[in-house]
Amino acid sequence: MLAKTANGLYWMSRYIERSENTARLLETGLRMALTRIEPSHDEWKSVVETAGVESAYIQMHEEYSAQNVIDFLLRDKSNPSSVMSAIDSARMNARLVRTAITRDVWESINESWLKLKDVLKRPVSDSQLPTILGIIRQQSALIRGSLHGTMLRNETYSFSRLGTFIERADNTARIIDVKYYVLLPSDSYIGSSLDNVQWESILRSVSAHRSYRWFYKADYIPTNIAEFLILNKSMPRSLAFCYDKLNENLNVIGRLHNDQNICQEHSCRILKMLDSHDATSIFTTGLHEFLTNFIDENINLGTKISEQYRFYQ
């Protein structure tokens, strides 16, 4: 496989994942804004922070109003994480690797791009937002379905999976990290109803509020939530799940060569690190420190993949 193709597949999937994650963040933001008793822009601010685009946002806007944030995260072309930018980049990469993906995959990405370009032509008001977010979610489900249903399970598929899970791991880690210190400024909040709303929003932003209930059959408890999103291997957006999948796919690619598999070694180490923890030990280490370290290691893996498989040279 051409290194350029591997690179294209990887980024195609990262951007598809990103567009969906950004949409989900907005959904959470909207919900938080609706359930607030007093009007506040804090939630929209934390949405921007979670998306990791704070500095770019500040250059464009002075305050964190719903309208500004929605526009910045949905449509702004100067924001590489906006849904429109992400789907644009996903399609451009899909075009680049057109010969490596099935017609179904290409057409689903192309159709999503056409559809989203159309619905995001004009600024989106709060009242239209739920419908539009629904469309975005539906489109990414179509793309995922065609990838899942039509791609040969070989290294082509694996490179696209690597992109998905590196992006997702990064996203989940950031969501927990941002909420952790933004939402728990002092002990006095803990256990309050406001606190409950905050924690639920974390679960919602990774579509896990229902599955949390199925799994724990109990109220929101910070240690459970952390455990669920970080360590639970049956939860498809948890860090441990992502690293299970990364490992699996690096294995598939590794079978092609006899060289030392630097990437796999690295992902194995991260997985072992996750396995060695439980919620209590994470909180003892410090959740923020733990997550910051994880985010760095995850970025490192991305770099190692691009080096070992010659993405750029």
Q: Contact positions toward other proteins, by CB under 8 A?
A: 1-6, 92, 95-96, 98-99, 103, 106-107, 110-111, 114, 155, 253, 256-257, 309-310, 313
Q: Tell me how far, at minimum, the Cβ of 169 lies from other proteins, in Å.
A: 22
What own/partner pairs with CB < 8 Å and gap ≥ 24 does 47-55 have?
Answer: 47/73, 48/72, 48/73, 49/178, 49/182, 50/25, 50/174, 50/175, 50/178, 50/179, 50/205, 51/22, 51/25, 51/81, 51/174, 52/81, 52/174, 53/79, 53/80, 53/81
Nearer to other proteins, 55 or 99 (CB): 99
Nearer to other proteins, 58 or 114 (CB): 114
Nearer to other proteins, 98 or 233 (CB): 98
Length of the chain: 313
Q: Measuring CA to CA, how many Å separate 104 from each of 108, 189, 199?
A: 6, 50, 38
Alpha carbons 244 and 241: distance in angstroms, whole number: 5
Burial of 101 by CB count in 10 Å (0-12 exposed, 13-18 middle, 19+ buried)? buried
**DSSP class of residue 188?**
G
Q: Tell me how far, at minimum, the Cβ of 245 lies from other proteins, in Å.
A: 19
Q: Tell me how far, at minimum, the Cβ of 168 lies from other proteins, in Å.
A: 22
Nearer to other proteins, 111 or 195 (CB): 111
Nearer to other proteins, 42 or 118 (CB): 118
Could you tell me if residue 243 is left (phi over 0), alpha (psi between -120 and 50 degrees) or otherwise beta? alpha
Nearer to other proteins, 11 or 106 (CB): 106
Q: Tell me how far, at minimum, the Cβ of 68 lies from other proteins, in Å.
A: 24
Nearer to other proteins, 3 or 194 (CB): 3
Q: Virtual CA dihedral for 103, 109, 111, 112, nearest 10 degrees?
A: 160
Q: Tell me how far, at minimum, the Cβ of 109 lies from other proteins, in Å.
A: 9
Q: Tell me how far, at minimum, the Cβ of 76 lies from other proteins, in Å.
A: 15
CB 142 within 8 Å of CB 180: no
The secondary structure of 241-258 as a DSSP string is HHHHHHHHHHHHHHTT--
Q: Tell me how far, at minimum, the Cβ of 219 lies from other proteins, in Å.
A: 47
Nearer to other proteins, 4 or 148 (CB): 4
Give every CB contact of residue 58 below 8 A, 6+ residues apart in sequence. none
Q: Tell me how far, at minimum, the Cβ of 15 lies from other proteins, in Å.
A: 15
Q: Which two tokens stand for residue 189?
A: 């909040």
Q: What kind and span of H or E run contains 153?
A: none
